[in-house]
Amino acid sequence: MTAAAVALVGLAVALRPPSQLGVAEGRCRANEPGPAVLVTAAGLRDRQGHLTLEIYPPDDRDFLVDDRVLIEHGKVFRRVYAPLPPQGPVRVCIRVPRPGPYSLSLLHDRDSNAKFGFLGDGIGFAGNPQLGWFKPRAEAARVNAGPGITAITVVMNYRHGLFSFSPLRSTR
């Protein structure tokens, strides 16, 4: 695998078997006020697998860093796993500790193997940055969470050609 391919694989942080770190803190509950981010996933390739939504600190040093490292150092990390509904809009809610800026990633784990699959899985970020050879900067993946529910749309990107990630031409 070329260096560029390795960089793209690192784009979504290799996931280990589903970790429960940050899951309890990230789960939205009915009738619970914010702060939280409600993400609508746009441009999904299909309805296979599940989504993994994650919140990180809004700086490059901590963006997409291993969950165990962030938690060990008392830094923000939240994660939500969500099944894909067979039809209709795809929305996932994740709680944040307080209003303010965060970086956000959304993985479409099409085979539900808890790993980013370079060949088939999709990835998206708050701010919908154009993806290149490397992960986006934290600022490009930033969401500013308000005191209530902050709604955003994340456009999913899938591999095209050898090393290119971009949105699909048509959305579901």
With H, G, I as helix, E, B as strand and everything else as coil, classify residue 155. strand
Strand 78-83 relative to strand 36-42, pairing: unpaired
The pTM of this model reads: 0.83
Band (pLDDT 50/70/90 cuts) for residue 57 is very high
Is residue 152 within 8 Å of residue 40, measured between CB atoms?
yes
Q: What is the mean pLDDT of the chain?
A: 84
Supply the pLDDT for residue 125.
97
94 by Cβ neighbours in 10 Å (0-12 / 13-18 / 19+) ranks as buried
Outline where 65-120 has alpha helix (H).
Answer: 67-72
Does position 9 have pLDDT exceeding 70, yes or no? Answer: no
pLDDT at residue 114 greater than cutoff 60: yes
CB 82 within 8 A of CB 44: no
Query: Cβ neighbours of residue 140 under 8 Å, at least 6 residues apart?
Result: 125, 127, 129
160: CB partners within 8 A, 6+ apart? 166
| Neighbour count for residue 154 (Cβ, 10 Å) | 26
